A and B are shown apart, each in its own frame.
Chain A
Amino acid sequence: MKNRLRVLRAEREWSQADLAQRLEVSRQSVNAIETGKFDPSLPLAFKLARLFETTIEAIFTDEHLG
């Protein structure tokens, strides 16, 4: 699943480790989500949305919709 995590992180000047700390997950997990290798669960997606003060749809894009 495509996502805008890298952009959102860059806007706040957060490293992957910074985001990982805020999400209480490993940096490896953030990297896997960011590179689209791992799709987060709904609770983690909501946590990301709350953290970036936006909606899940604004972070993740359904590739089937283009």
Chain B
Amino acid sequence: MQHEIVARPAASVVKLNLDAGETITCEVGAMLAMSTGIKVETTSGKKGGKGGGLMKGLKRMFSGENFFLNHFTADRAGQTLILGPQLMGDVVHHNLSGTLVVQGSSWLASEEGIEIDASWQGFGKALFSGESMFWVKCSGHGDLFLNSFGAIYEVNVDGGFTVDTGHIVAFEDTLQFKIGKAGASLIGSFLGGEGLVCKFTGQGKLYCQSHNPPSFGALLGPKLKAR
């Protein structure tokens, strides 16, 4: 499977070249265009409808994703597929080998063989991290595509790193994070507008987004009329 990400970072899409028999699983509504030699199958779990799809689908709904997943399989060689998110923003490729924990709505697509499951992040983190209640846990080997509102940048964490709430896209499970305060004093952290932050420890790769929808919404919202 070959891929190319174009129109970064504001209007990113990923162009895929699929060989005969290759399958990519993606978020519902992500397909923009495709050639005619591609078959689509919609399930709530794995391709072929096997493997406890109902619970996984429900959990995925809690993580901000759709109940259903679309599986695109090429019938013959040289098929192309274009995938993109709904909002304007960035798309990045991650070569998965192990487990990546992805923020609720940032999972876009993954190669067949990658297990996608929602995982509960715990009450404290759910309330204070500025992210959804569940994370999408991707494990296995293969190509994985993530999207965000804003540009995505990569950080190789070695020791400690701090991310403001609402700016996490994904992180390798060799990293852990705790909710903490931004500065030395609690009052200062809140008055300084940073409030609570996510403090990462460990070693591994972390993806952050430069912007986030809630901050933009807070700015634009007051200018909108009531529905």
A and B are partners in one complex rather than unrelated chains: no
Please list the residues of chain B having a beta carbon within 8 angstroms of any beta carbon in chain A.
Answer: none
Please list the residues of chain A having a beta carbon within 8 angstroms of any beta carbon in chain B.
Answer: none
